[in-house]
Amino acid sequence: MKDIDAIAVLQEPVRRRLYDYVTAQGREVGRNEAAEAVGVARTLAAHHLDRLAEAGLLESGSRRLTGRSGPGAGRPAKVYTRAPAELAVSLPARDYRTAAELLAEATEEAGLDAELCAAARRRGEALRGSESPDSGLEEAMETLAARGYEPHLEDASAGQAAPVVRMRNCPFHAVAERFPPLVCGMNLALLEGLFGQAGPVRARMDARPGECCVVLEHSKSNEN
């Protein structure tokens, strides 16, 4: 299926709500949960979820949702997660990814990492404009969501000393896969400029597979 055809699948309103719900969870989602979340019947949810999987927008599998195994554990249920493939449509056709990769390659070979980070920090400051840095993590999450990072709050009980904002999506993922130190450093500098290096939240590196390499946390100088 062509990218434009796969994206067109999302035009159906219920299907789009199901897709948005599944992708926002960052884990496997069963049919019952998805149906309840968007307020539709399970059979209708199953139809649309399978259609999304056929289009390559979701991946499907099966597991026991009870957490038990052996006799009496019940049959495995069908579950869905976001597909890793990246879809893009440009009319007329454009190839910005190749241009970005060539620029990244030239920057890396020329040893211009510091200059790239300085430019990224300036761009972040320009995007913020004259506004003061965001006052907390919730406001920062709104800013990140608007830029496609898909932020979520991970509280201290998840192994962190304090709450942090992690991001399920990296807007620069395709280029970051080929040039991780260069692009991740650029991303960190961009967010430092966007939120202010002396503001109430700070950005730092904390890479995890499948997520953005940068996290946000309360600035040490603003902790009680």
* pLDDT digit string, tens, across residues 131-190: 777 678 999 999 999 999 999 998 876 566 788 999 999 999 999 999 999 999 999 999
In this predicted structure, what is the pLDDT of residue 161?
74
How many Å apart are CA 126 and CA 190, to the nearest integer? 10
Query: Phi and psi (nearest 5°) for 152?
Result: -150, 145
- Amino acid letter, 19: Y
Higher-confidence residue of 126 and 134: namely: 126
Q: Can you say how many angstroms the Cα of residue 174 is from the centroid of all Cα atoms in its chain?
A: 13
In this predicted structure, what is the pLDDT of residue 108?
97
Q: How far is CA 128 from CA 122, 134, 152, 155, in A?
A: 10, 9, 21, 26
Beta carbons within 8 Å of 95's beta carbon, 6+ residues apart = none
Q: ∠ CA(162), CA(168), CA(203), 5° rounding?
A: 45
Q: How confident is the model at residue 73 (pLDDT cuts 50, 70, 90)?
A: low
Please name which of 78, 70, 104 lies closest in space to residue 22, comparing C-alpha atoms.
78
In this predicted structure, what is the pLDDT of residue 209?
86
Overall pTM > 0.85: no
Q: Which segments of the chain does DSSP mark as H helices, in order?
A: 3-8, 13-25, 31-38, 42-54, 96-109, 113-128, 137-146, 173-178, 180-195
**Mean pLDDT, range 8-12, rounded to an integer:** 94
